[in-house]
Structure 1
Amino acid sequence: MPGPGTLANLIEFFWRDGFSRIHEIQMKHSKMYGKIFKSHFGPQLVVSVADRDLVADVLRAEGVAPQRANMESWKEYRDMRARSTGLISAEGEDWLRMRSVLRQLIMRPCDVAVFSDDVNKVVDDLIERIGVLRAQDPDGTTVFNVNDLFFKYAMEGIAALLYECRLGCLKNEIPQDTQDYISALHLMFSSFKTTMYAGAIPKWLRPVIPKPWEEFCHSWDGLFKFSCIHVDNRLKEIKSQLERGEKVQGGLLTHMLTAKEMSIEDIYANVTEMLLAGVDTTSFTLSWACYLLARHPHIQEQIFTEVTRTLGPGTVASADDVYQLPHIRGLVKETLRLFPVLPGNGRITQDDLVLGGYLIPKGTQLALCHYSTSLDEENFPDALGFQPDRWIRKHSTDRVDNFGSIPFGYGIRSCIGRRIAELEMHLALTRIIQRFHICVSPLTADVKSKTHGLLCPASQIHLQFIDREN
């Protein structure tokens, strides 16, 4: 099997900071070596799969508990702190057990639809916050660094559903414990590249270069502390209600605490990991979506026309309304195709596998190159073009499923928070398009992407939000 040599990889990633260009390296290597190639990262062998049909073969061959790759640093931290693993980091029977509990609550669209009102209250605050930020600029329209705005929206939204309380992320004065969590989250992603790829960095180097591992542990300490506080607060409220003989009602966290299908440590771990997974992923996608709409005003107006015609002027959309807004759904799918939050995904083969004519032994680490497949002309004609309507079915027999772009994964190990993330994005984008013309600020140049754990904007995006006449 072809592929770059060990020395070439070490130079690419550690000398040329390839960790910030993983998406570009995917494209480069797939052109040089083909749709399947091998790489060595120190002692670690990785087989990269950059073909839609081969990715489909890998995912369709998975067993009942697929094994992720590169989670050793997460597990090491949990062992050190005597913490449980959550749905992202768990494997095997532990993962299956937690998955079976959580999938009953948030996997189906109808389960998540009940959160529409809660999400729309956060969208209310988002729209109000856009107004506040615009007023701070002399032109009265510009919001600087929109990803900071959407980061706080996404955190407020996911926390409202997970913790069943508001954090104040979109207020002028953010509470200190919320600000501490935001700092911990930023620290987590700043240390991401040196910890997720720990297999290539020997542990004996930690005494020599201690800072990355210390920051990684410090960030996890902050994330767990924040979650424990909010879980414990809700648990105290439930106990007080029961002591008063009141009926206990609530959302996701209340169900987990009262059903007692998971231990309290399992709940701490899962809430922490779901909050971690649900903030930057949503905020980056919203930032890219608004940037793309600003760069393509004719598509923005097409979507505005659909929203206005379907809902009527000023109507606040619910989860049920989104089914009647195919261009809003297509906007999110096309944004995630062009800028997949996870440019790649990992798997460990659990059995011998024949792939692309090669025998892949059991226990081999696979890298599924989603960025490369999503920009492949064979999978998507005019792959660099922004075409949300490519995802819209033209008739009842038309299928637009495509393994070239699977931003939420596929099968049993697909993203369990997909429906929540989609609801947050669909409702926010619908309301923003109803209220504003989105334009690129003159201060924003052509924005490229970079890999920082996730695929994110390489520079700040400044946009103008101009009131629509109606």
Structure 2
Amino acid sequence: MEKPNSSLTEVAFSNEVVSHTNVEVNSIYDVASLKTIPRIDPSQYLSFDMMPGPTSVRFCAKLWSIIPLTQNQEQSIKDTLGADYLYGYLNWYNNIPLFKRMARDYGAVVRIQGPFGGDFVVMLLMDDAINLTQTDGPYPIRSCLHSLQQFRLKNKQYQHAGPFLNCGSEWKKMRTLIEETLHNIVPHQGTIVRNACKEFVQRIAHIRNRRDEVPLTFESEIYKWSLECMWGLFFNKRCGFLKTGGLSESSEPAGILSATTGVIAAIRRCEFGVLVWKLVGTPNWKNLVKHADLLDSAIKKNVCKAQESLRQMKQNEKGVTPENASFLEMLLLKEGVSPESVLTTLLEMIIIGVNSLTHAVSFLLYHLSCNPNVQRKLYKEISTEQDLNKMQFMKVCINESLRLKQPIPLLNRVLTNNTVIRNYYVPKGTTIVITPQLYGIKQEYFENALRFKPDRWLHDEMKLNGYPLSSLPYGLGGRACFARSLVEMQLSSLMSEIIRKYRVEYHYGEINSTNTMLAAPNRSLRFTFIDRE
């Protein structure tokens, strides 16, 4: 696969650098890898200050640096208006055109210098991101969802953050335990997931109008299905989110649904722009705490029940196996795992997992409805094959939909060592912004990149520098999603039930993703579900 050509602006910048440094142009842009080099000699590489980026922001940063402040004052302002604020800007506005403009104006890597302190580097080529994450080291650091981290710190019951936010040896230990437990549990989740999918199909029939169109609130129905699947995985029981007649507002499932959607909405608002909630309790911050506490209470109740169930099994000398135990019970049995750490893990996995699963289902339905030929081909496969593991076209439809609309479109890493990136010396502690949503729609990596073409995945596995491109939506390096097999099983199960019973259509304007950390469709999912004869 050919690497993309440098933009004219990038070449012009290269010539300017050569005229001042006598460094060859090829040595700047044709670095083979991004390996961390022990005891890097900065004099051998281009200074970090020479990395291209918006000059107006750098001017503000220099002006700010001469203002006399106490250390506490300076830190407070950095926390609220520093580089995290700029990262919030990238995360919440229409960032794909912004990234394309950055690539045109500055090249493959762009330094954003926070006007009130802090730096981050935006990587606009997948090659660089793959190389960086392959040299992460054993404990890669990720910095994101500051509001959820703050909620953790202000609650004494939480020993540490969960697998999404934590880092270091504790993160590695918990991630390994979760992966092992999922590996044992997932093969036994088929019945629970299938039942949830059948109920979802029945729910669609109940909420359609006379034109077979679902209501504007259909995304909420997908949230219910996602929660039912997650609840079944964690607690090995049904919760009743998908009752055909709907949920009573006073019921426990309705409360859990409200808490889950509420905390996700609050996190989105808290992570936007100026992080004022770090200084004062804003309404969005209070909503986050309120809904997170409600969700926490529901999970804690199940943790207590699981502990009691394990005690009874022990008294009855009944062995605990993946066939008769839940994910929660299996995790509680792991050595060195406390109920508090399990609580934080489940809360985090529900927030991230439910949103990601809902986003994936929403856009898979959208892409299939907009491509009837693909939908017919998928229906033919579903009609003749009962084994989900053998549905190859189903798998490539999922790959293609996730490529175009990724649930987590931005990633980041905090450098743990001084690193060389495209011949620039980048100091440790710098945040690197990785843009997988941009990579997924770049012509350099995918022919007709903006088209939904599942067939592209049916041939030899597509790779870049040895990295399988089908893994891109699941993250990069050591912090990639550990539940990929579970997600694919859940999506395949749901789509097989829906497409077997309905022909899906969509007759309104284009639906796009918000491209935020917790991404969502930007308009209502007004699908039409027509019964098949």
Classify 1:214/1:398 alpha carbon distance in 2 versus 1 (closer, same or farther; 3 Å). Answer: closer
2:143 pairs with 1:63: no
- Comparing 170-179 and 323-332, the one that deviates more: 170-179
Q: Would you say the 8 A contact 1:26–1:371 is kept in 2?
A: no
SS at 1:454 equivalent: coil
Shift of 1:419: 1.8
Match of 1:167 among 220, 239, 257: 239
Cα distance in 1 for partners of 2:94, 2:291 equals: 24
Question: Which position in structure 1 is the counterpart of 2:389?
Answer: 323
Look up the equivalent residue of 1:228 and give its one-letter code: K
Are positions 1:266 and 2:330 aligned together?
no
Which string of whole-angstrom CA distances, capped at 9 and with x for unpartnered residues, describes residues 50-74 of structure 1?
1010011111111111100135443
1:315 paired residue number? none
Paired AA for residue 184 in structure 1: A
Residues 39/92 of structure 1: CA separation in 2 closer, same or farther (3 Å cut): same
Out of 450, 457, 461, the position equivalent to 1:384 is 450
Q: What is the aligned partner in structure 2 of residue 40 from structure 1?
A: 113
Deviations 1:383-425 (A, max 9, x none): 110011111235xx87695459611113321112222211111
Distance 1:279 1:364 in 2: 30
Are residue 465 (structure 1) and residue 515 (structure 2) matched?
no
Residue 434 of structure 1 is matched in structure 2 by: 500
Counterpart of 1:439 in 2: which secondary structure? strand
Q: Deviations over 1:134-175 (max 9, x none)?
A: 2xx122454544322211111100110112221211112256
Q: 1:332 aligns with which of 398, 402, 424?
A: 398
Matched position secondary structure for 1:347: strand
Residue 86 in structure 1 maps to residue 162 in structure 2: yes
In the TM superposition, what are the counterparts of 1:195-206 in structure 2 within 5 Å?
A: 195-196=270-271, 201=275, 205-206=279-280
2:166 is the counterpart of 1:102: no
- The code of the aligned residue for 2:522 comes to A
Residues 94-144 of structure 1: CA deviation (Å, up to 9, x unaligned): 1011112111122x5x7522211221111111111111112xx12245454
The answer to whether the aligner puts 1:30 opposite 2:80 as a matched pair is no
- 1:289-438 paired onto structure 2 within 5 Å: 289-311=364-386, 321-394=387-460, 402-403=468-469, 406-438=472-504
If you compute each CA radius of gyration, which structure gives the higher value, 1 or 2?
Answer: 2
Q: Deviations over 1:274-306 (max 9, x none)?
A: 111211111111111111111110010011112
In the alignment, structure 1 segments of 5+ residues that lack a partner are 312-320
The amino acid across from 1:295 in the alignment is C
- For structure 2, the 5+ residue unaligned runs are 1-50, 62-80
For residue 67 of structure 2, what is the aligned residue in structure 1? none
Q: Counterpart of 1:151 in 2: which secondary structure? A: helix
Q: Which residue of 2 aligns with 1:3?
A: 53
Deviation at residue 35 of structure 1 after TM alignment:
1.9
Q: CA–CA distance in 1 between the matches of 2:455 and 2:112?
A: 37
Change (3 A) 1:204 1:371: closer
Q: Deviations over 1:318-377 (max 9, x none)?
A: xxx233211111111111111011111011011111112222111110110111111110
8 Å CA contact 2:408–2:473 kept in 1: the answer is yes
| Cα 1:189–1:452 shift into 2, 3 Å | farther
* 1:16-46 Cα shifts (integer Å, max 9, x gaps): 9972423443333233322210223442311
Confirm whether residue 147 of structure 1 aligns to residue 213 of structure 2. no
Query: Alignment partner for residue 223 of structure 1, among 295, 314, 333?
Result: 295
Aligned CA distance change for structure 1 residues 76 and 322 (closer, same or farther; 3 Å): same
Q: 1:445-464 residue pairs with structure 2 within 5 A?
A: 445-464=509-528
Deviates more, 1:97-106 or 1:284-293: 97-106
> Any idea what the Cα deviations from partners look like across 1:220-246, whole Å, max 9, x if unmatched?
222222211121122223333444554
State the match for 2:64 in structure 1: none
User: Which SS does the other structure have where 1:379 is aligned?
Assistant: coil
In structure 2, C-alpha distance between the alignment counterparts of 1:28 and 1:223, rounded to whole Å: 41
Deviation at 1:15, TM superposition (A): 12
The question of 1:189 aligning with 2:239 is answered no
Separation (CA, whole Å) in 1 of partners of 2:280 and 2:186: 43
In the alignment, residue 91 of structure 1 is paired with which amino acid? C
SS at match of 1:407: helix
The alignment partner of 2:407 has SS state of coil
How many matched pairs? 448
Q: 1:278·1:417 contact (CA, 8 Å) conserved in 2? A: no
Q: Mark the CA change 1:102 to 1:267 in structure 2 (over 3 Å): closer, same or farther.
A: same
Query: Structure 2 length normalisation: TM-score?
Result: 0.77
Q: 1:26 to 1:398 in 2, by over 3 A?
A: closer
Computed over aligned residues only, the root mean square deviation of the Cα atoms, in angstroms, reads 2.8
Q: Sort the Cα spacing of 1:50 and 1:439 in 2 relative to 1 into closer, same or farther, 3 A.
A: same
Query: What is residue 188 of structure 2 aligned with on the other side?
Result: 114
1:71–1:147 distance in 2 versus 1, CA, 3 Å: closer
Q: Distance in 1 between matches of 2:263 and 2:93?
A: 15
- Match in the other structure for 2:127: 53
